[in-house]
Structure 1
Amino acid sequence: MAAAWIGSSIPRNGDWREPGRGIAIMVETNGVHTAIVMPLVNAQKDWRAEFPAADLPPGAADRPYTHVSVSWGEREVFLHTPTWADLSPGTALGAVVGGDGLLHVAHYVRPAPDGNARVLHLRPAEYARLVRRIESQVLPPARRAVHRGYTDRDVFYDAPGTYHLGNTCNQWTSDTLAAAGVRTGWWTPFAGGVMKWVD
């Protein structure tokens, strides 16, 4: 815990400052896991090709989605723990030792910011780098399976990478933000280590 606090307090991109205006994204958390929320379509990127609403359960594809939430995590934890009460010791140990990666993608309609979904503005060049980083984690449709999510507005996709204590879901979030040039912590295994950098 002490190492995580120290590691998450050492800044990457320490000179970065949020612009007064720019492309609005959000960093969200459920208290344990973090994700990056982006416009579904803007001048820089249309995510509908990578994350089509058609992959959602029947009846959910036609909603007027405006944003997409993307995160990464361990396959067995994602697929077999719809609530934290479902997390077994064996699944947790397997994730810490090393497990396959999976992308979690949720579709939103005009998400409202709050204490657990905080707005962050990026310059166009920064957002472009964020997009490229996430694109590098998206396998082509022919090489990935689609797994049902927890609700009718989210799904999971096979993704590259190995989850372990040094490369957690929250580390993925901070690494992705850092690749865009955003100030964040060096080692952020826990959600709080990510969120403390977002006002």
Structure 2
Amino acid sequence: MLIAAMVLFALSGWIGSSIPRNTSWTEPDPTTERTIAILVGTNGIHTEIAMPIITPEQDWRGIFPASDIIASSRDYTHVAVSWGERRFFLETPTWFDVNPVTVVRAMFGGEGVLHVAHYVRPAPSSDYRVMHLRPAEYRALAAAISAQIAPAETREVLPGYDTHDVFYTARGTYHLGNTCNQWTSDQLATAGAKIGVWSPFPGGVMKWIADFEPAR
């Protein structure tokens, strides 16, 4: 019964991620119009969205200040934002720390947190792919992500895994129907990008983003 449920979930995730939202969207060409380059990354289980810290459309320094991380003096160029279940995020600094009990609890509902990492010129790769957005699309993405942060009066700033990252309490409840990868998909959809309807797995997100092509 359990195996059948897992197979059904995996199948529904594959089908749901293959049904597109924003079907008429096409990625803009940065050689012919002004765009903002973001990166969508995956570690095989989890996805994140990396954005330039400062553009005319959005300055992230006031929302995700470097003063909230230990290595605050570096010249960071990007912030990468992802969302997930609080206990799983905070209690699982590495995959060797995964606790099955924590996983099961998260599956049935848990408080959301944002994970924010600061990077210096992150390099594109097959697991860290570039997506170009028009200014209005990027503004919509920035507004959607900003709206995820818990109100200032209740927000907690929690230590990250390393010297360049941090957690913030956030809106939303994590569960099987609203996973970290679905969150990434929803933010991109709000920006107007073509992305799957339901993407519980990272592959369901990444398959909509052009693969990395190294320079020749």
Calculate the TM-score normalised by the size of structure 1: 0.97
* Counterpart for residue 17 of structure 2: 8
Count of matched residue positions in the alignment of Structure 1 and Structure 2: 197
Task: Please give the alpha-carbon distance, in whole angstroms, between the structure 1 residues aligned to 2:152 and 2:166.
Answer: 14
* Counterpart for residue 68 of structure 2: 55
Give CA deviations for 1:18-65 in whole Å, capped at 9, x if unaligned: 0011110000111100000000011011101110100112xx111000
Which among 56, 64, 68 is matched to residue 75 of structure 2?
Answer: 64
Q: Show the 5 A alignment for 1:22-171.
A: 22-57=35-70, 60-171=71-182
Task: Please give the alpha-carbon distance, in whole angstroms, between the structure 2 residues aligned to 1:157 and 1:135.
Answer: 12
Secondary structure of 2:73's aligned partner = coil
Q: Tell whether the 8 Å contact from 1:50 to 1:138 is kept in structure 2 after alignment.
A: no
Which among 183, 186, 194 is matched to residue 175 of structure 1?
Answer: 186
Secondary structure of 2:40's aligned partner = strand
Question: What is the CA-CA distance between 1:142 and the residue it aligns to?
Answer: 3.4
State which drifts further: 81-90 or 36-45. 81-90
Task: Please give the alpha-carbon distance, in whole angstroms, between the structure 1 residues aligned to 2:45 and 2:203.
Answer: 8
Q: CA RMSD in A?
A: 0.8
Secondary structure of 2:121's aligned partner = coil
Structure 2: stretches of 5+ with no match in the other structure = 1-9, 211-216
Question: What is the CA-CA distance between 1:135 and the residue it aligns to?
Answer: 1.1
Larger radius of gyration: 2
Moved over 4 A (4+): none
Task: Please give the alpha-carbon distance, in whole angstroms, between the structure 1 residues aligned to 2:120 and 2:96.
Answer: 28
Task: Please give the alpha-carbon distance, in whole angstroms, between the structure 2 residues aligned to 1:84 and 1:92.
Answer: 12
Task: Please give the alpha-carbon distance, in whole angstroms, between the structure 1 residues aligned to 2:168 and 2:181.
Answer: 18
Task: Please give the alpha-carbon distance, in whole angstroms, between the structure 1 residues aligned to 2:150 and 2:104.
Answer: 27
State which drifts further: 139-148 or 184-193. 139-148
* Counterpart for residue 20 of structure 1: 29
AA in 1 matched with 2:64? F
AA in 2 matched with 1:13? N
Secondary structure of 2:178's aligned partner = coil
Question: What is the CA-CA distance between 1:144 and the residue it aligns to?
Answer: 1.0
* Percentage of pairs with the same residue: 60
* Counterpart for residue 191 of structure 1: 202
